[in-house]
Structure formats: structure tokens, C-alpha cells
């Protein structure tokens, strides 16, 4: 498909890849790893920062649940599924992580009759056995993030904690960060093969940023591990350029459909198109919320900063979010539907899997699948 022929994007319709509402909560920027491909700063890790205090964490947790409750009021029952993804830095590194996850369980009780939740942790899983067991009690799922630069001791902990999660029948997936550096690439492939041999639910993740340059041999080696990824996909990738500037897949590995052809799946979507995504109608706000626990700011999601008012940036803070939720609720009641975004960016930074189209009527038709009105 050429860039200028693309006019609509939506997720494939399959029970295992159903679109819920994802709350990405950046709990702390501190991390016990220091991977080369993870930038130091707000989109990676930063050990010069302080862990946000417990009372601030609990306040944001309450606010995010309230926001979800408004969104869920307009969803069909089959799609009233929220995911609270707690991550960092490394969320396990926060000294109050056990109290925070316990509060996530308690706070949800008032909403349990209206929508469902899966509390998940994205983690390098380098916790002691005692701490790991406590953490698991307050999670429905775990995304294990494998880092080839980690020390062998940490990798052993990582495997042990995967085994425990499987033993207690915890929902899980494993993401292998495919670092293309010659000193680490084979370790990534070896762990992919280990997962496949042991029937573990794992997938490779191609890296964003300056390290995300893959040669043809490396891409060929990944074909057995990535669904709907073949020689045609490899042929259109420029091996001399950053992958992040060319294509983007769904962070959750979800297959995608284009131009309302729901029987043909694709993995990679163009990051930029000839005319840009500016002016596209998008529903990212109906499927995502990002809370930054350090700054106390709220965004559509962690990479897409488009707001309902046609500008880019955070749409609320910990001090203004309650008033924002009140206004959102009033707007939805007046229009009898949730509002959608109009993109102001030339490239789709994230929210790739959220239904979107240059034609508003296409987006409205797609959203009838998910929403009551």
C-alpha cells in the first residue's frame, strides 16, 4: 500500500486482540538497569529524580479511575475493559509499590459493578521472591521486559519470576527488546528461541530511537517470531534509517487493518504519510490515558500529545483533572457521545491501534462497534 492511498486505520477484530481502555501510568523514572537504548530523561529512565511520594500516587490513582468511569459509561459491555499498566523507569523500584498496588485493588471496588479491570505491570521483574509474591497478589497480568544488557544474576531472577507467574496462572507476556548491537543481538535471539522452545508467550520488540537500525540479516532472523511479518515488509524498510522514523506497529503486538479491509492484516504502519496525519480524525482519547506521576500531568497517551482543543500537550494536571472530567462528562451528555480528536501532527507518534481516518464518517462507523452511541 502506498502512503497516499492510506485513509483509515483500525485494529483487527479478534477476541485475543480486543481494544480496551489502556491507562499507562508512569510511576517513577528510577530504574535498577541502565540500558544503552533507554534514554535518560522523561521517556526512559532517570535516577537523578526522586520517587513520587505515596500520597501523590494515590491521588493520581483515584483520578485515573474516575476518568475511566466516564469513558466506560459510553462503551458497549463487551468493551468495558480497562487495563491499568504500571511502569517506569522500573515500577518495582518504587519503595511503596506494594502499598500502591494494594490501593489499586481497594480503589477499584466502587467501580467493579460497572466495568472490568486488569491491573498489569510492565517490568524487568528483578524482585526478590518475597516481594514478587506480594506484588503478584494485586495484578491480573504482567508484561515481562527482557533486556540483553542485564547482568546474569538479574536474568536468573527474571526467569524465576516468569516461572512463578506461570505457576500461579497469572496472565503474562514477554517482550524481548531487540538490541541490534553486535555484542547483544545473539543474546536476544537466544532468549527468543528459549521462549519459543518452552512455549512461552513472547514476542520481539523493534527499538525506537537512535539504536533502532536493523540490517537485512537481522530482519530475516525475526520473521519466524513476528506474526504477519514477511519478506514484503523487509523489502520496504530502509536499512540505513531509524525504524522509528519509518514504521510503527502496535505496542501490544496487535494486528492492524487498513482502509476498512478487515480481512487483511498488517504489522507495520507508516509513521508518516505523504500528506501527513494532520487533519485525520482519531479516537485515541477513547482508548488511552497517560498519567505522569512525576510531573502530575495527564496526556492522551505517553507519546501522542494531541488534545481535544486542537493543540498538543498535556490536557490536565493533578490539580485540574477533576474539573476536566466534569467538563468531559457534560460534553458527552450534550452530544450523546464521546468526543474525538483531530490530529495536529504530521506523524502518528502513538495510538497507532486506535481507530482513525481522514474521513470522519469512517471513524464514526468504526466506533459504533465499541460504543453504545
Packing angle of the helix pair 152-167, 129-136 (nearest 10 deg): 40
**Rounded to whole angstroms, how far apart are CA atoms 66 and 321?**
10
**Rounded to whole angstroms, how far apart are CA atoms 264 and 255?**
9
Residue 17 DSSP label: G
The grid coordinates of residue 197 equal 522452545
In the chain, which stretches have pLDDT less than 50? 1-2
pTM of the model: 0.89
**Rounded to whole angstroms, how far apart are CA atoms 168 and 240?**
45
Cβ of 177: how many Cβ atoms within 10 Å?
A: 20
**Rounded to whole angstroms, how far apart are CA atoms 16 and 32?**
32
**Rounded to whole angstroms, how far apart are CA atoms 190 and 186?**
6
**How far, CA to CA in Å, does 121 sit from each of 103, 264, 321?**
14, 32, 24
**Rounded to whole angstroms, how far apart are CA atoms 84 and 104?**
9
Domain boundaries defined on the chain: 18-242+284-353
Span 18-242+284-353: which CATH code? 3.20.20
Instruction: State the pLDDT at residue 230.
Output: 67
pLDDT, tens digit, 9 for 90 and up, residues 280-322: 999 999 999 999 999 999 999 888 889 999 999 999 999 999 9
Amino acid at each position: 500500500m502506498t502512503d497516499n492511498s492510506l485513509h483509515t486505520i483500525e485494529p483487527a477484530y479478534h477476541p485475543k486482540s480486543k481494544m480496551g481502555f489502556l491507562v499507562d501510568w508512569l510511576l517513577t523514572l528510577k530504574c535498577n538497569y541502565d540500558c544503552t537504548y533507554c534514554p535518560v530523561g522523561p521517556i526512559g529512565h532517570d535516577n537523578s529524580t526522586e520517587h513520587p511520594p505515596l500520597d501523590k500516587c494515590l491521588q493520581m490513582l483515584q483520578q485515573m479511575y474516575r476518568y475511566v468511569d466516564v469513558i466506560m459509561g459510553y462503551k458497549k459491555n463487551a468493551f468495558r475493559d480497562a487495563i491499568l499498566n504500571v511502569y517506569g523507569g522500573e515500577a518495582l523500584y518504587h519503595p511503596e509499590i506494594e502499598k500502591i498496588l494494594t490501593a489499586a485493588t481497594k480503589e477499584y471496588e466502587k467501580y467493579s459493578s460497572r466495568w472490568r479491570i486488569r491491573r498489569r505491570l510492565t517490568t524487568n521483574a528483578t524482585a526478590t521472591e518475597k516481594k514478587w509474591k506480594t506484588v503478584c497478589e494485586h495484578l491480573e497480568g504482567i508484561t515481562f521486559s527482557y533486556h540483553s544488557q542485564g547482568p546474569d544474576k538479574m536474568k536468573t531472577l527474571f526467569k524465576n519470576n516468569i516461572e512463578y507467574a506461570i505457576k500461579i496462572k497469572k496472565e503474562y507476556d514477554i517482550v524481548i527488546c531487540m538490541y541490534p548491537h553486535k555484542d547483544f543481538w545473539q543474546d536476544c535471539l537466544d532468549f527468543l528461541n528459549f521462549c519459543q522452545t518452552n512455549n512461552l508467550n513472547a514476542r520481539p520488540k523493534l527499538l525506537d530511537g537512535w539504536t533502532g537500525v536493523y540490517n537485512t540479516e537481522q530482519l530475516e532472523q525475526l520473521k519466524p517470531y513476528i506474526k504477519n511479518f514477511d519478506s514484503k515488509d523487509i523489502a520496504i524498510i530502509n536499512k540505513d534509517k531509524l525504524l522509528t522514523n519509518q514504521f510503527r506497529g502496535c505496542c501490544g503486538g496487535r494486528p492492524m487493518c487498513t482502509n476498512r479491509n478487515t480481512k487483511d492484516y498488517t504489522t507495520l504502519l507508516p509513521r508518516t504519510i505523504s500528506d501527513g496525519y494532520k487533519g485525520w480524525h482519531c479516537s485515541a482519547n477513547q482508548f488511552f490515558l497517560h498519567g505522569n506521576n512525576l510531573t502530575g500531568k495527564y496526556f492522551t497517551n505517553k507519546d501522542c500529545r494531541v488534545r481535544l482543543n486542537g493543540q498538543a500537550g498535556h490536557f490536565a494536571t493533578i490539580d485540574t483533572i477533576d474539573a476536566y472530567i466534569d467538563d468531559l462528562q457534560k460534553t458527552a451528555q450534550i452530544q450523546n457521545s464521546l468526543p474525538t480528536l483531530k490530529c495536529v501532527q504530521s506523524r502518528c507518534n502513538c495510538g497507532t491501534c486506535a481507530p482513525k481516518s481522514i474521513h470522519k464518517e469512517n471513524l464514526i462507523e468504526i466506533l459504533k462497534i465499541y460504543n453504545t452511541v
